[in-house]
A and B are shown apart, each in its own frame.
Chain A
Amino acid sequence: MAEIQQQDKGGGKGGKKRAKKMSTKIDMTPMVDLAFLLLTFFMLTTTFAKPTVMQMTMPVKPKPDDPPQELPASNAFTIIMDENNKIYYYEGLLKEGEAKPELMPTSYAADGIRKVLLERKRRDPKTVVLIKAADKSNYKNMVDILDEMNITDQKKYALVDISKADEDLIKTSGK
């Protein structure tokens, strides 16, 4: 412990009262307590200061004279997010005059959409996932689904606007 040596100035005329020698040892415990408190505080605040980010790359705007890319229906897998955290998916594409794909309800839980995506990926590694968020769904749903894309390691996925046909499909399916 820190000690300060006090030198006796043994001079003077044998002074009347010699100051009583006090111990110079200080109790450091409160200071150390404070030091550790601060240490913990700063350690915790620094670690959690930086938020994490999810990278997202959107396709470059197509040039007007580029031919539109056709996606074969066999590779298409659509996820639709609706209000109240509802989520549906269907395989294939929704095209005018063709048989409508079957709309399946699922959930955001681990054994919901994730299982479906993994299963689909095993069957068809070239799957392209189309993510359609209805206007009434919330941003959390969008982030959750994008996160599922990372978790299930999908190679190709895109955020697409929801079409009228998709909305009708939800309505008519009644699920």
Chain B
Amino acid sequence: MTPMVDLAFLLVTFFMLTTKFAPEEAVVVDTPSSTSELRLPESNVITISVDKDKRVFFGMDDAKPKLAMLSRVGAKYGVSFSAAQAKTFSNLSSFGVPVQQLPDFLSRDNEQRKTIKQPGIPADSLNNQFIDWVVEAQAASRTAFGKPAYIAIKGDGLADVPTVKKVIKLLQEKNINRFNLITDLETKPVAGK
């Protein structure tokens, strides 16, 4: 039995070290399924979530460009963040509050933050903060990694098409024509049968 136990522990150690726990999401998004087998890359991903209440959330996975992005968007809207707020921000997987409310949102503690209903990032023509986040995120990841981030759209199955289309249109206006829709895996049917 000893060799088997050794092996079991070896595997346990391996999986424990390699597993990255999914960070807590700000919003529950139930993605539709598709037969695509492409996997989301490990890093340098911008996730745009659209939930069924037409709210848009923005998330980025790498802490370093995230902080650069935060200070640049903050500067653009005249909002400044303390070091503690910036640190909290780098730990958030995604957020959906307008930048003006962001400092207050970040200074609350974790439990409180969960109870706040986030209104989503404004993405209409009068107050388009969403595209600023995307543009600054792209710029920040270009300086950090030398290439723009991978953009993934995570829409809820019940999200409405106009919101998703609006997001796509905004990205196209910034010449971002290649993006990815996050889906669940579904088995592939045999075509032609």
- Asked if B37 contacts A38 (CB within 8 A), the reply is no
Interface string of B162-183 (1 = CB under 8 A from A): 1011001000110101111111
- Verify if B161 is at the interface (C-beta below 8 Å from A): yes
Looking at the assembled complex, report how far the CB atom of A113 sits from the nearest CB atom of chain B, in whole angstroms. Answer: 13
19 pairs from A and B in contact (CB 8 Å cutoff)? A35-B5, A36-B8, A39-B15, A42-B16, A42-B19, A51-B183, A53-B40, A54-B181, A54-B182, A56-B180, A57-B177, A60-B177, A114-B191, A139-B155, A143-B157, A143-B181, A144-B32, A150-B36, A161-B165
- Tell me which residues across on chain B come within 8 A of A54, comparing CB atoms: 34, 36, 38, 180-183
Residues on the A chain within 8 Å of B141, using CB:
none
Please measure, in the bound complex, the distance between the C-alpha atom of A134 and the C-alpha atom of B22, giving whole angstroms: 34
Q: Which residue of B lies closest to A110 (CB)?
A: B189
How far is the CB of B65 from the nearest CB of chain A, in Å?
20
Contact with B along A141-154 (1 / 0, CB 8 A): 11110110011110
What residue in chain B is nearest A1 (Cβ atoms)? B2
**Cα–Cα, bound, A141→B44 (Å):** 29
Per the bound structure, the CA–CA distance linking A138 and B155 in Å amounts to 10
Q: Which residue of B lies closest to A35 (CB)?
A: B8
On chain B, the residues within 8 Å of A159 by CB distance are: 165, 168
| In the complex, chain A residues 29-56 whose Cβ is within 8 Å of any chain B Cβ | 31-32, 35-36, 38-39, 42-43, 45-46, 49-56
Q: How far is the CB of B171 from chain A (nearest CB, A)?
A: 8
Q: Is B35 close to A, CB under 8 A?
A: yes
Q: Report if B12 contacts A (CB, 8 A).
A: yes
> What CA separation (Å) do A121 and B183 show in the bound complex?
26
B152 within 8 Å of A (CB atoms):
yes
For the complex, is B75 an interface residue (Cβ under 8 Å from A)? no
Contacts known (A52-B185, A135-B161, A153-B191); A57 close to B8, Cβ less than 8 A? no
Residues of A within 8 A of B134 (CB): none
Contact across chains for B39 and A50 when beta carbons are under 8 A apart: yes
Q: Is chain B's interface secondary structure helix, strand, loop, or mixed overall?
A: mixed
Chain B residue at minimum C-beta to C-beta distance from A152: B191
- Give 6 A-B pairs besides A28-B5, A52-B182 with Cβ atoms closer than 8 angstroms: A39-B8, A49-B19, A52-B185, A55-B38, A81-B161, A118-B192
Per-residue A-contact encoding for B35-77, CB less than 8 Å = 1, 0 else: 1111110000000001000000000000000000000000000
- Chain B CB within 8 A of A99 CB: no
Binding site for B on A (CB under 8 A): 1-2, 28, 31-32, 35-36, 38-39, 42-43, 45-46, 49-61, 81, 110, 114, 118, 133-144, 146-147, 150-153, 159, 161
CB nearest neighbor in A for B152: A53
B188 within 8 A of A: yes
Minimal beta-carbon separation of A34 from chain B (angstroms)? 9
| Contact yes or no, A147 B1, CB < 8 A | no
Q: From known contacts A35-B5, A51-B40, A54-B36, infer whether A138 and B157 are also in contact, taking CB-CB under 8 Å.
A: yes
Distance (whole angstroms) from the CB of B164 to the closest CB of chain A: 5
Least CB separation from A58: chain B residue: B177
A161-B172 Cα distance, complex, nearest whole Å:
14
Q: Is B11 an interface residue (CB 8 A)?
A: yes
Contacts of B32 in A (CB 8 A): 139-140, 143-144
Residues of A within 8 A of B16 (CB): 38, 42
